[in-house]
Chains A and B, each alone.
Chain A
Amino acid sequence: MIAAFYLISVVLIVSAVLAVSLRNLIYCTLCASVVFISSAALFFLLKADFIGVVQILIYVGAVATLLLFAVMLTKNLVSRQYYVGQKRKWSYGIFTASAVLWVLIGSIRSQTNLAELVTADHQLSVVSLGKEMLTAFLLPFEVASLLLTAAMIGGIVIALEEKKKSS
């Protein structure tokens, strides 16, 4: 169990770095889907099966394909980085990211009374999850569905708008 955690987090970090820094966009999206899969694996490790499965279904199944289609439609596969003038920005990026990381790690370490792992294996059954979602969390559930329909219609309207005029 322990080895699995470290292995997966190494894969996670490496593929995240690759997903962000590669030049060829197709490889970027590929590494992004590896990030999504390994974070789903972490969820399984943390005994959150339902969320792990939802993560794979939504991120790898839909979001990665969407990204691939977007990459294909915008056609600049090998993103031509004009680094001429913006060398410094690149270093700015590293500086801010490491600053944020330092702050976060600092806050984690300063925390002393972090909760210990109390029960070795407690499993939240999917049925209770479902009940909870439709009782305590009914409002966010309805708002989420509203948001999804709005996003769908918005996405279509933006993408489709051009087709109507030109055809």
Chain B
Amino acid sequence: MTNTIETQTRPSLSTQQLEVSIGPQHPSTHGVFRMNVVLDGETIVKLKPVMGYLHRNHEQLAENMSWLGSMPYTDRLDYFCSMTNNIAYALAVEKLMGIDVPERAQYIRVIMAELTRLVNHTALVGFLLNDLGAFFTPVLYAFREREKILDLFESVAGSRMMCNYMRFGGVKLDLPDGFVDCAKAIVDNYPPFLEEMERLLTKNEILMARCQNVGILLKDLAVNASVTGPVLRASGVNYDIRKIDKYGIYDRFDFKVPLGTVGDVYDRYYVRILEMRESLKILRQAFKELSAGPVISQKGLIAAKSPRNMKVPAGDAYGRIEAPKGELGFYIVSEGGTKPYRYHVRAPSFINLTILEDMCLGHKVADAIIILGSIDIVLGEVDR
């Protein structure tokens, strides 16, 4: 595998170009993902991402399974935020079936979505620092907070990461008593944790020197490559689906959308911390306005009772939400039967990955690793 490429330039000190495969078996590629990198010394000349190691045929499986049957599989797409995957799939099917979702279920969905955003961004900040070389300290601080929220998910949905909690027309079970004030306590404890992380990281000279002006993503390249999520907003494009689609009840909450200016790794890191602050604001408002009431619509309850003969009217629909990693969309086509005819997932990580090479050219090997870390990809979603 040492096929070296001889440069044809004038007889300079013809150092061979080293082709290194930062391969599936590498400590910091966030899962099974390979980058074929051609190095001249330490700087990157060419970079080709190689994916598909974790392809589990998710979309083909969904075509011969009942509508609700593929709900637990959506947890395995982006295993860091399973609740938002469920919400996106439920939204798409509800759009096609025309089921309305009761008030309390809408609030529960918003609470679960924002808690997942907190979990995802904390873990991302931790792993980005791990790629930078901080020996696991930020990751373990982040996991300390993440564990508390995962315990909340476990008490609500039964499992920490594979929640399978959403049903078409609402949620599976109502919140257990004592959930709300326990969640309030965690949400109030979050700002001190964010301050601690900021004191540890944001003004750290080494971090600033390593992350600033590294892997700059220009505004128009981001828009043309249809990048979405914090990566896009860090380059300064104001595009947040919660504000644009106003799906569910997001228009009742007032929150801001943080935008970066330069679009480098530092911006992507700090935009996510600001987004966490906004999610906390939404959560506080949602806890205040949470009212009693049914948790699942009547039609949804019947469908949940016997999913195998739940029929969805013919037609196609595209439901999308602002997942922590970007615009997560489900495109489903139904022939009116109990099984979807076509089922496609628009995974944000996969599309954000396409611009990895443009950002990495000219940088060092060490930068390529943290640029990959800052895009925040999860291979379950990339390979589906």
Contact = CB atoms under 8 A, between A and B. Distances in A.
Chain A directly contacts chain B within the complex, with at least one CB pair under 8 Å: yes
Interface of A: 73, 162-163, 165-166
B206 interface: no
Contacts of A162: 12-13
B13 A165 contact: no
Size category of the binding interface on chain B: under 10
Nearest to B12: A166
Given A162-B13, A165-B10, A166-B10, 9 more contacts: A73-B13, A73-B15, A162-B12, A163-B12, A163-B13, A165-B12, A166-B9, A166-B12, A166-B13
Contacts of B15: 73
Task: Describe B's contact surface by its main secondary structure.
Answer: loop
Contacts of B10: 165-166
12 contacts: A73-B13, A73-B15, A162-B12, A162-B13, A163-B12, A163-B13, A165-B10, A165-B12, A166-B9, A166-B10, A166-B12, A166-B13
A10 B15 CA distance: 40
Interface in B1-59: 9-10, 12-13, 15
Majority DSSP secondary structure for residues of A touching B: helix
Contacts of A73: 13, 15
Contacts of A166: 9-10, 12-13
A73 B9 CA distance: 17
B351 to A, nearest CB: 35
B378 to A, nearest CB: 38
B64 to A, nearest CB: 58
Nearest to A166: B12
A163 B14 CA distance: 10
A41 B15 CA distance: 38
Nearest to B7: A166
A73 B16 CA distance: 10
A165 B15 CA distance: 15
A65 to B, nearest CB: 18
A162 B9 CA distance: 12
B7 to A, nearest CB: 9
Interface in B288-331: none
From B9, B10, B13, residue with most partner A Cβ within 10 Å: B13
A139 to B, nearest CB: 39
A162 B10 CA distance: 10
Nearest to A73: B13
B71 to A, nearest CB: 56
A73 B13 CA distance: 8
Contacts of B12: 162-163, 165-166
Contacts of B13: 73, 162-163, 166
Interface in B156-214: none
List of 9 A-B pairs having minimum Cβ-Cβ separation, nearest first: A166-B12, A162-B12, A162-B13, A166-B9, A166-B10, A73-B13, A163-B13, A163-B12, A165-B12
B218 to A, nearest CB: 25
A165 B13 CA distance: 11
Nearest to B11: A162
A166 B13 CA distance: 9
Query: Which of A162, A163, A165, A166 has the largest number of chain B CB atoms within 10 A?
Result: A166
A162 B15 CA distance: 12
A166 B10 CA distance: 7
A147 to B, nearest CB: 26
Contacts of B9: 166
Nearest to B15: A73
A165 B12 CA distance: 9
A100 to B, nearest CB: 37
B288 to A, nearest CB: 61
A17 B12 CA distance: 35
A166 B40 CA distance: 13
Nearest to B9: A166
Nearest to A167: B12
B225 to A, nearest CB: 30
B9 to A, nearest CB: 6
A53 B121 CA distance: 55
A166 B15 CA distance: 12
A163 B13 CA distance: 8
A166 B12 CA distance: 7
Nearest to B16: A75
B248 to A, nearest CB: 55
B241 to A, nearest CB: 45
A162 B14 CA distance: 10
A155 to B, nearest CB: 14
A162 B11 CA distance: 9
B335 to A, nearest CB: 61
A130 to B, nearest CB: 40
Interface in B236-261: none
